[in-house]
Amino acid sequence: MNKLSNSIVQLNFKKIVRTYIIFAVIAVIAVAGGVGFVFRDSLSYAWQYSKFSEAAKSMKEEDIRKEADKLAESSENLVDVLLLNGKNEVLYSSNKSEFGSGKFSLSPVEDMNSYLANSIDENVVFKFVKGEEFLLSSVFDFNFEKIQKDYEDAAFYEENHSEKTLYMLTYLVSGNGEYKVYIISNPYTTEGGESALSVAAAVGVLIIMIYWVLLALWVYQNSMKAKLKPFFWGTVVLITNIAGLLVYLMYKNGNNVCPACGASQEKNHQFCTNCGSQIEHRCKNCGMYVSKNDSFCSGCGEKQAR
Ligand SMILES: [Zn+2]
Ligand SMILES: [Zn+2]
């Protein structure tokens, strides 16, 4: 037995698994907390947005105002939340922005349907995004530079195109279609968001890797105790993980275990090839191999002396 197998055999897996679980739980909580902290603005906004869009379906004007204020407060990047009637008249503006009074109508920029010009400020162009996309963009980094470039590429023939401010816009309609809600947001990138996600991914990979190696080590130790080619089984499980583990357990359970030393023995062995103890004997009645623990013969049903 070389040094490596020696140390693997001495591993106390109960302790190791307990330590591993504690480590994994603490790591997951710490990472989730860290990511949550970095994305706190985005998360509070996403949460409020989903609540708002769910509730907007059946809300009265007064309730919409209240929820619109909560939504506007949830993120520093919201330019405004507007409540409009069917004639595009602004009934309510949460942030009292320049779009917050009078008539606010939108029209496509040239032939680009996802870019909208408005009736209030000709220096502002809105990038229309679907609700889900809008929501995701607040949590994950939205590639706004690309949007801006797309817009400039598409509108290159337009004069002064690059001087226009680009906002993101999405809308909701109230349950009976009486009200429209426009949500206008400043595109932004969460500071440190990318590194936070990378750290989270790295910790996740680490946790899985440790589990992966531990499983292979356990199989190595277990098969060594059962005298079952530990290097072979350890390697199989190291490569195939769960699949290899299942094959190993099936193989092992198909064999007998020597009651004296724990070595795995083929079904028809009468004596352990490792320690020489008797494992099975033959039935006196029919000559069939009978396991030492069996009370009756599987071939003829004869009661076995124990
Ligand atoms: Zn034995
Ligand atoms: Zn028998």
Q: Report which bound ligand comes closest to the CA of 226.
A: 1
Give the pLDDT score at 40.
87
Q: Is the separation of the CB atoms in 166 and 147 below 8 Å?
A: yes
In angstroms, rounded to a whole number, what is the distance separating the alpha carbons of residues 125 and 82? Answer: 16
Instruction: Let me know whether 11 and 123 are in one domain.
Output: no
Output the CA 256–ligand 1 centroid distance in Å. 10
| pLDDT < 70: residue spans in the chain | 1, 138-144, 154-162, 306
Give the pLDDT score at 144.
67
Q: Cα–Cα–Cα angle for 155, 161, 162, nearest 5°?
A: 115
Count of H-run helices and E-run strands, the chain: 9, 11
Output the CA 218–ligand 2 centroid distance in Å. 38
Give the pLDDT score at 24.
96
Output the CA 270–ligand 2 centroid distance in Å. 15
Instruction: Let me know whether 46 and 135 are in one domain.
Output: yes
Output the CA 278–ligand 1 centroid distance in Å. 8
**Does 306 map to a domain?**
no
Q: Is the separation of the CB atoms in 264 and 281 below 8 Å?
A: no
Output the CA 302–ligand 1 centroid distance in Å. 26
Give the pLDDT score at 138.
61
The residue out of 189, 212, 245 marking a domain boundary is: 189
Instruction: Let me know whether 114 and 25 are in one domain.
Output: no
Instruction: Let me know whether 67 and 165 are in one domain.
Output: yes
Output the CA 195–ligand 1 centroid distance in Å. 55
Output the CA 249–ligand 2 centroid distance in Å. 29
Task: Kindly give, in sequence order, each residue whose CB lies less than 8 Å from that of residue 276, ignoring residues fewer than 6 positions away.
Answer: none
Give the pLDDT score at 295.
87
Q: Report which bound ligand comes closest to the CA of 270.
A: 1
Per-residue pLDDT reduced to its tens digit, 245-292? 999 999 888 888 887 888 888 877 878 889 998 877 778 888 887 777
Give the pLDDT score at 52.
85
Instruction: Let me know whether 181 and 233 are in one domain.
Output: no
Output the CA 290–ligand 1 centroid distance in Å. 17
The two tokens of residue 162 are: 């690059």
**Does 302 map to a domain?**
no
**Residue 228 belongs to what domain range?**
3-29+195-254
Q: If you write DSSP's letter for every residue of 170-209 in order, what string do you get?
A: EEEE-TTSS-EEEEEE-----TTHHHHHHHHHHHHHHHHH
**For the chain, how many structural domains are there in total?**
2
Output the CA 271–ligand 1 centroid distance in Å. 8
**Does 58 map to a domain?**
yes
pTM for the model stands at: 0.66
In angstroms, rounded to a whole number, what is the distance separating the alpha carbons of residues 12 and 228? Answer: 20
Give the pLDDT score at 122.
85
Q: Report which bound ligand comes closest to the CA of 260.
A: 1
Instruction: Let me know whether 83 and 153 are in one domain.
Output: yes
Instruction: Let me know whether 45 and 81 are in one domain.
Output: yes
Output the CA 265–ligand 2 centroid distance in Å. 21
Task: Kindly give, in sequence order, each residue whose CB lies less than 8 Å from that of residue 196, ignoring residues fewer than 6 positions away.
Answer: 34, 35, 38, 39
Output the CA 159–ligand 2 centroid distance in Å. 100
Give the pLDDT score at 13.
92
Give the pLDDT score at 160.
52
Output the CA 55–ligand 1 centroid distance in Å. 70
The residue out of 189, 211, 242 marking a domain boundary is: 189
